[in-house]
Amino acid sequence: MQISSILKPQAVRVIGAVSSKKRLFQEIAEVAQTSYGLPSQTTVEALLDRESLGPTGVGHGVALPHARLDSLEEVCGVFLILEKPLDFESVDRQPVDIAFSLFAPEDAGVEHLKALALISRTLREQSFCTKLRANHDPATLFTILTEDQPIKAA
């Protein structure tokens, strides 16, 4: 699996400041609606439901909010850079400025886990995240995410 198989160029955005985790999820849902036709309100609710199980802030300024949706046929993603980091209740208590959100069909099973593992491994590389943070052009970010993958998932 490659990031290019789950992420569209129009699903990569740079946003200014968001006031809360819920507002971030609304931004993600708007991008998901525009890029993949996902219902915005259902998407926000699914992200909030998943987040209630435990924070998806994985540390070092990275969050991986994810959810399963009935209306989906394949795994897809939304990538955001936040110009102003957001308190996300991450495991290391650091604010988040990189959010890669994944959406999967209810019955995705292993495909959802493979995608989550790929994103997690890729964004665990500090040099990779530094490169992402240094660029605020969505087209450039998409290129970095899809072509410059030093780590491959199973």
Q: Which of 60, 66, 112, 136 is catalytic?
A: 66
Check if 66 is active-site.
yes
For 143, residues 6+ apart whose C-beta sits below 8 A from its C-beta are: none
Hey, is 29 helix, strand or coil?
helix
- What is the β-pairing status of strands 57-59 and 76-86? unpaired
Q: How many residues does the chain have?
A: 154
Distance CA 26, CA 53 (A): 19
Q: Which residues of 30-67 are buried (b: 16+ CB within 10 A; e: fewer)?
A: bbbbebbebeeebbbebbeeebeeeebbbebbbbbbbb
Residues designated as active site: 66
